[in-house]
């Protein structure tokens, strides 16, 4: 799991779950913590500040089902991961 910047204002988290890559927003909607600093357990990323959990496969909130993070499409091209913003 690692965080990246796309352009000047978008932060993206890329996670490998059982050999499949997923990309979601890297900012927790609760208090804007960087999710890449949290922990990944299976498909669930846990915010390092207040332990909110999100599913990196869908972006859906687990702790708070009314809160979610943006999901990005990943394209594998010539052994490179490309993220469609």
Q: How many CB atoms lie within 10 A of CB 2?
A: 10
Q: Which fold has domain 2-84?
A: Rieske Iron-sulfur Protein (2.102.10)
pLDDT digits (tens, 9 = 90+) for 31-85: 999 999 999 999 999 999 999 999 999 999 999 999 999 999 999 999 899 998 7
76-79: long-range contacts at Cβ-Cβ below 8 A with a sequence spacing of 24 or more?
Answer: 76/21
Where are the domains positioned within the chain? 2-84
Name the one residue in this structure whose structure tokens are 């498909």: 43
pTM of the entire structure?
0.92
**CA–CA dist 53, 74 (Å, integer):** 21
| DSSP summary character for residue 61 | B
Decide if 24 contacts 69 (C-beta within 8 A).
yes
């Amino acid at each position: 799991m690692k965080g990246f910047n796309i352009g000047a204002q978008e932060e993206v988290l890329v996670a490998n779950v059982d050999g499949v890559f997923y990309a979601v927003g890297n900012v927790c909607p609760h208090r804007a913590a960087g999710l890449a600093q949290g922990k990944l357990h299976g498909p669930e990323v846990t915010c390092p500040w207040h332990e909110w959990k999100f599913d990196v496969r869908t972006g859906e909130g687990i702790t708070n089902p009314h809160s979610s993070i943006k999901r990005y499409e990943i394209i594998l091209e010539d052994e490179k991961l490309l993220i469609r913003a």
